[in-house]
Amino acid sequence: MSVVNGGVSFWMREQPTEPERAPLRGDATFDIAIIGAGMSGLWAAYHLTEAQPDLRVVVLEAERVGWGASGRNGGWLSQLIPGNRVKYAAGPEGAAGVTRLQQAMLAGITDVVRVAAEHDLPIDAHRGGNLVVATTKAGVARLHARMAADLHHGLPTASVQSLDSAQVAEHIDVHGVLGGLRYPDVTRINPAKLVRGLARIVEARGVIIHERTRATSVQPRRVETADGIVSAATVLVCTEGYSGPLMGARRIIPVNSSMVATRRLSDDEWARIGWAGLDCLSDAAHTFIYAQRTADGRIAIGGRGNPYRFRSGTGGNGHTPEATIELLSTRLREYFPSVDTTVEHAWSGVMGVTRDWCTSVSFDPTTGLGHSLGYAGHGVTTAYSATKSLADLALGLHTPHTTLPWVGYRSRSWEPEPIRWTGVHTMYRLFRVADAWEEWRGSTETCWLGRMAGHLAGLHG
What is the contact surface with ligand FAD in residues (CB under 6 A)? 35-41, 60-63, 67-70, 72-76, 78, 214-215, 238-242, 246, 257, 259, 290, 302, 349-351, 375, 377-381, 383
Among 373, 374, 382, 376, CA closest to 102: 382
Q: For residue 449, what are the contacts with CB-CB under 8 A and spacing of at least 6?
A: 430, 433, 434, 437
DSSP helix/strand/coil, 145 = helix
DSSP helix/strand/coil, 29 = strand
Residue whose C-beta lies closest to ligand FAD: 379
Cis ω before 418 (30° cut-off from 0): yes
356: Cα within 13 Å, side-chain hemisphere: 15
Q: How many angstroms separate the CA atoms of 49 and 32, rounded?
A: 10
Q: For ligand FAD, give the closer residue by CB, 74 or 454.
A: 74
Among 203, 258, 254, 220, CA closest to 373: 254
Taking only Cα atoms into account, the Rg of the chain, rounded to an integer number of angstroms, comes to: 21
Min dist. Cβ of residue 220 to ligand FAD (A): 17
Min dist. Cβ of residue 239 to ligand FAD (A): 4
Min dist. Cβ of residue 246 to ligand FAD (A): 6
Q: For ligand FAD, give the closer residue by CB, 115 or 351.
A: 351
Q: Say if CB 404 and CB 104 are below 8 A apart.
A: yes
Min dist. Cβ of residue 440 to ligand FAD (A): 29
Min dist. Cβ of residue 374 to ligand FAD (A): 9
Find the angle CA(36)-CA(399)-CA(90) to the nearest 5 degrees: 85
Min dist. Cβ of residue 188 to ligand FAD (A): 9
Q: For ligand FAD, give the closer residue by CB, 383 or 434.
A: 383
Per-residue exposure over 246-258, b if at least 16 CB sit within 10 Å of its own CB, e if not:
bbebbbbbbbbbb
DSSP 405: T
Q: Say if CB 409 and CB 105 are below 8 A apart.
A: no
Q: For ligand FAD, give the closer residue by CB, 124 or 269.
A: 124
Phi-psi region of 305 (alpha: psi -120 to 50; beta: other; left: phi over 0): left
Q: For ligand FAD, give the closer residue by CB, 39 or 261.
A: 39
Q: For ligand FAD, give the closer residue by CB, 136 or 244.
A: 244
Q: For ligand FAD, give the closer residue by CB, 61 or 438.
A: 61
Q: For ligand FAD, give the closer residue by CB, 379 or 458.
A: 379
Q: How many angstroms separate the CA atoms of 31 and 50, rounded?
A: 15
Q: Say if CB 254 and CB 320 are below 8 A apart.
A: no
Q: For residue 434, what are the contacts with CB-CB under 8 A and spacing of at least 6?
A: 286, 446, 447, 449, 450, 453
DSSP 134: E
Min dist. Cβ of residue 259 to ligand FAD (A): 5
Q: For ligand FAD, give the closer residue by CB, 161 or 317.
A: 317
Min dist. Cβ of residue 371 to ligand FAD (A): 10
Q: For ligand FAD, give the closer residue by CB, 63 or 438.
A: 63
Min dist. Cβ of residue 446 to ligand FAD (A): 24
DSSP 76: E
Min dist. Cβ of residue 304 to ligand FAD (A): 10
